[in-house]
Amino acid sequence: MSLTSEPVVVRHPYRWVVLALAWAAFTMTAVDRSTWGPASVSVGEHLGVSLAGLGVFATGYYVGYVISNAAGGVLTDWLGPRVVIGCSLFLAGGFMILFGETDSVAMGIAFQAGVGVFAGCDYSAGVKLISQWFPPKDRGFAMGVFMTATSLGTVIANAVVPSLIAASGWSASYHLFGAGSMVVAVLCLVLLRNSDAGAGAARSAPAARRAPDLRPLARNRDLWLIGLAGFGGLWGTYGFITWSNALMIKGSGISATQAGTVVAIFGVAAIVAKPFMGVVSDLFGGRRRLPTVIVLGAFVVTLLAFGTRDSLAGFLWVAPFLGVAAYVYSPLMIALIPEIAGVGLAGSAAGATNAFWQLGSTIVPVVLGAVFQATGSFFWAFATLAVGPLLGMFLMLGVREGDAAVRSPSVRAQALVR
Of the pLDDT bands very low, low, confident and very high (cuts 50, 70, 90), residue 209 is: low
Kindly indicate the confidence band of residue 398, based on its pLDDT and cuts at 50, 70 and 90. confident
pLDDT band of residue 193 (cuts 50, 70, 90) is: confident
Which tens digit of pLDDT belongs to each residue from 109-143? 999 999 988 988 888 889 889 888 888 777 778 88
Q: What is the pLDDT of residue 202?
A: 37
What DSSP character marks residue 4?
T
Taking the domain 15-196+213-417, which CATH number applies?
A: 1.20.1250.20
Where does the pLDDT of residue 416 fall: very low under 50, low under 70, confident under 90, or very high at 90 and above?
very low
Q: Which of 22, 136, 123 is nearest to 75 (CA)?
A: 123
pLDDT (0 to 100) of residue 284: 64
Does the pTM of the predicted model rise above 0.75?
Answer: no
**Which of 62-66, 347-351, 363-367, 383-387 is most confident?**
383-387
Per-residue pLDDT at 403 exceeds 90: no
What does the pLDDT read at residue 166?
86
Q: Please, are residues 39 and 170 in contact by the beta-carbon 8 Å criterion?
A: yes
Provide the pLDDT for residue 196. Answer: 47
For the chain, the average pLDDT equals 81
Q: Which of 347, 342, 358, 356 is nearest to 407 (CA)?
A: 342
Q: pLDDT digits over 315-354, tens only?
A: 999 999 998 999 888 888 887 877 777 666 666 777 778 7
- Judged against a pLDDT cut of 90, whether residue 78 lies above it is answered with no
So what's the pLDDT on residue 10?
58
Q: Is 304 a residue whose pLDDT tops 90?
A: yes
Farthest CA pair distance, the chain? 64
Over range 236-265, report the average pLDDT: 84
CB neighbours (10 Å) of residue 168?
12
Mean pLDDT confidence for 386-399: 92
Q: What is the pLDDT of residue 415?
A: 43
Predicted confidence (pLDDT) at residue 211 exceeds the cutoff of 70? no
Report CA-CA distances (Å) from 68 to 82, 145, 401.
16, 23, 28
Q: What percent of the chain has pLDDT over 70?
A: 85
Mean pLDDT over residues 94-107, rounded? Answer: 91
Judge contact between 365 and 239, C-beta under 8 A.
Answer: yes
pLDDT at residue 9, rounded to an integer: 56
What is the structure's pLDDT at 251? 76
Q: How confident is the model at residue 285 (pLDDT cuts 50, 70, 90)?
A: low
The per-residue pLDDT for 55 is 75
- The answer for 245, left when phi > 0, alpha when psi is -120 to 50, beta otherwise, is alpha
DSSP string of 138-205, one letter each residue? GHHHHHHHHHHHHHHHHHHHHHHHHHHHHHH-THHHHHHHHHHHHHHHHHHHHH----SS-TTSPP-P
pLDDT mean over 166-185: 92
Rg (CA), the chain: 20
pLDDT value at position 407? 46
Task: Average the pLDDT over 188-209 and give the result.
Answer: 59
Q: Where are the domains of the chain?
A: 15-196+213-417
CA torsion, ordered 364, 320, 146, 161, to nearest 10 deg: 70
pLDDT band at 360 (very low <50, low <70, confident <90, very high): confident
pLDDT at 418: 41
Residue 273 near residue 328 (C-beta atoms within 8 A): yes
pLDDT tens across 43-65, in order?
A: 888 888 877 677 788 778 878 88
Per-residue pLDDT, averaged over 167-174, amounts to 90
Cβ-in-10-Å burial (0-12, 13-18, 19+) of 109 comes to buried
Lowest mean pLDDT among 184-198, 370-384, 387-401: 184-198
Taking each helix axis as running N to C, give the angle between helix 346-375 and helix 378-396, from 0 to 180 degrees, rounded to the nearest 10. 150
